[in-house]
Structure 1
């Protein structure tokens, strides 16, 4: 009888509003990035595991499977810099080499591979030099070949910076370092926190205009949401969009929407991968979702296209 009572109690708890059982088919990748190459999509993100970055693949953006190579890991501790806090990977292709910019130990590092499946490695296991903690890297290569590192510096709040990189992407050029975005608007700090947060930068260029898409508020805040700013130069100054936020909990019906990355699908459509909270009452493990984007006079998202990713 006790077993039956306990089972019924657990079932009732899980059926209460705001209580969710973990779905074994769901994908739980925070700070996600999708890289599309030759018709295959590769998904990376901040893991619940602590030893690197796993990689999932898909042909249709709906059904995903863990890579069978390298025990599922695109980058594993020991192959490149870092022993803890593997966060926010970005993968891109440059001159026939695949690069992964990522965070470990609250520092930014860049590793390389011959395949988007990895293994991503460093010959010399070290991060980019910096005098402060820095996270959330995004490497943008402009049409003139110049390379820029957008990233968050953890000082007086989480603030987004940019600097031009050396051609081999081994360092930034300190003289070019500029602050881009700080959380100064009401929607960017709904909790009135003493440590305001702007993070998760993603950058692209469209018709000569640079778009810097970012997320504001602490990631545990249900109001974690996405906005953007534009500039005529990759170094700024940046003008925040007057209609921010453009992606939030009201739009998709889930808390904690943000920290994602843009990618082009096989039909050249623009899409954004991001994470949400696990449930209305619980932050993690954070769930991975995709939504379609469009560029007219402004950058917008299509709420009807929102869906979670699953295995």
Structure 2
């Protein structure tokens, strides 16, 4: 065949194939897919808060760890709650002009107001200036509070609303501040309750792990963990002091949330301001209130006692402690419409394999809260190399039919923390909650499919012997794009006839090299990695139609180089 005839044939084929769609999409309707995911423990992360961003179709995870140098709080995004893509930088710049803390930047959470388009970042930090103004003593050893920053993008960067934390001074007037009668190491408390009661009454409360709950009646609540530091509690069963963190709450006003300019700092409700102020206090002294939510003494559960003897076991190197931290509050209703509030929380030390998750239920946001006898509902699974599970957040699948708990954990007792996704089930009729911790294969969240796959080029023109390339994209139902460089994702490429040449895949790029002139077809198929190794082609079906591979076929027209 002459070169002229080849070019003529190619021209005709181009006309005939020009209408070939570059994207393969499932028809509308309910889609079923065999796509799975598993927790590969490859994404660094700690204290993750995850939210679904309707505007972009992505899930965003905000983490205590994972930020690039010069930033605080790592930010990841995912189309499916399983394959995470790290975004450059971080949520908050370290040189933000409103910086008020110097370290311990912990537990970021982000909330989006769809009416104003604003995203609010709540986070904990430890202060380095004005400490005495907030905690009475300039040398207060753990002066942690909560700050708020704002952005118009879920990926940030966020900017502090003020060069100070939230204007909130929680004060416990009934607490005997035994820290004031302890030695400098602050590890050995008084040996008796009588001795501890000689300590001065009253202390300001350092607090971390903010979680904001928006009730459907328009009221807003801030839950937080009273930092274990400076909170020695007498344990009547053990006959000694144990340093504890407890979970408290305070109601917030709505002014900041309804402000379209995003310049208003959140404020506590007036009913909580100066609740504990005494008549003899000097003018200007703040002593705000709080509502107790969870504590060990109010609802004892033995699984929370993994560290109450650490002082003796460590030879005095560690304190005897308990934790209740990392809470998340969600609301559902029974079949009769009765509201049920759930609060997940973590207990024990995050560095220890016994770190786990429990939950409590209530009929109202401020309680009283009752811990579940089924606790812990998430803990270590050594057979699956899953340890130190906790401090996560609850998020719905894209179609709202399922719930998931995204948390941190570790693949061994010495590894750093990583991101994990677990199916969470609610049973409001029985006040039940369960979390399926696993590293095995599980179905993708409902509503991620149907998938759409496409190539940048509807037709490839290939000079023989020379590679030509095209870019592949795979998108979830809501448009979020999968990162095909992630080991959990990928595509395979097949050239037909096989004798026409070769096709190679590198992430989202496919390279084709033809050995001779003529017509071939390139089929690119979406795949997911399996927990046991290898990959599987992904299929999907809609409306009762037979399942078909998620694939796209592209004509390849070869001509002499």
Q: TM-score range by the shorter chain?
A: 0.7 to 0.9
Offset, 1:170: 1.9
For 2:344 and 2:367, how far apart are their aligned partners in 1? 13
Which structure has the larger Rg over C-alpha atoms? 2
Q: 1:41 aligns with which of 51, 56, 59?
A: 59
Q: 1:166 aligns with which of 253, 266, 289?
A: 253
SS at match of 1:83: strand
For 1:86 and 1:307, how far apart are their aligned partners in 2? 34
Tell whether the 8 Å contact from 1:291 to 1:307 is kept in structure 2 after alignment. no
Offset, 1:274: 0.6
Q: 2:76 aligns with which of 56, 59, 65?
A: 56
Offset, 1:277: 2.7
Give the TM-score taking structure 2 as reference length. Answer: 0.47
The 5 Å alignment of 1:148-297 reads 148-154=221-227, 155-156=231-232, 157-167=244-254, 168=256, 170-173=266-269, 174=272, 175=275, 177-183=290-296, 184-193=300-309, 194-207=320-333, 208-250=339-381, 253-268=385-400, 269-280=402-413, 282=414, 284-296=415-427, 297=430
Offset, 1:244: 0.6
Tell whether the 8 Å contact from 2:109 to 2:210 is kept in structure 1 after alignment. yes
Tell whether the 8 Å contact from 1:256 to 1:275 is kept in structure 2 after alignment. yes
Post-superposition Cα deviations, 1:39-67, rounded to whole Å, max 9, x if no partner, equal: 21111111155741121112122322222
Aligned to 1:117: 155
What CA RMSD, in Å, does the superposition of the two structures yield over aligned residues? Answer: 2.4
Aligned to 1:139: 212
Q: Gaps (5+ residues) in structure 2?
A: 1-39, 127-143, 170-203, 233-243, 257-264, 276-288, 310-319, 334-338, 443-485, 488-561
Residues 115/301 of structure 1: CA separation in 2 closer, same or farther (3 Å cut): same
Offset, 1:253: 4.4
Tell whether the 8 Å contact from 1:211 to 1:231 is kept in structure 2 after alignment. yes
Would you say 1:28 and 2:44 are equivalent positions?
Answer: yes
Residues 275/123 of structure 1: CA separation in 2 closer, same or farther (3 Å cut): closer
Give the TM-score taking structure 1 as reference length. Answer: 0.83
Q: Which of 29-38 and 55-64 deviates more?
A: 55-64
Aligned to 1:4: none
For 1:306 and 1:41, how far apart are their aligned partners in 2? 21
Would you say 1:103 and 2:124 are equivalent positions?
Answer: yes
Aligned to 1:19: none
Q: Gaps (5+ residues) in structure 1?
A: 1-23
Offset, 1:177: 1.5
Residues 137/188 of structure 1: CA separation in 2 closer, same or farther (3 Å cut): same
Tell whether the 8 Å contact from 2:121 to 2:149 is kept in structure 1 after alignment. yes
Q: Which of 225-234 and 183-192 deviates more?
A: 183-192
Offset, 1:307: 7.5
Tell whether the 8 Å contact from 1:291 to 1:305 is kept in structure 2 after alignment. no
Would you say 1:300 and 2:434 are equivalent positions?
Answer: yes
Post-superposition Cα deviations, 1:176-211, rounded to whole Å, max 9, x if no partner, equal: 611111233210112324321110000000111111
SS at match of 1:31: coil
For 2:291 and 2:61, how far apart are their aligned partners in 1? 30
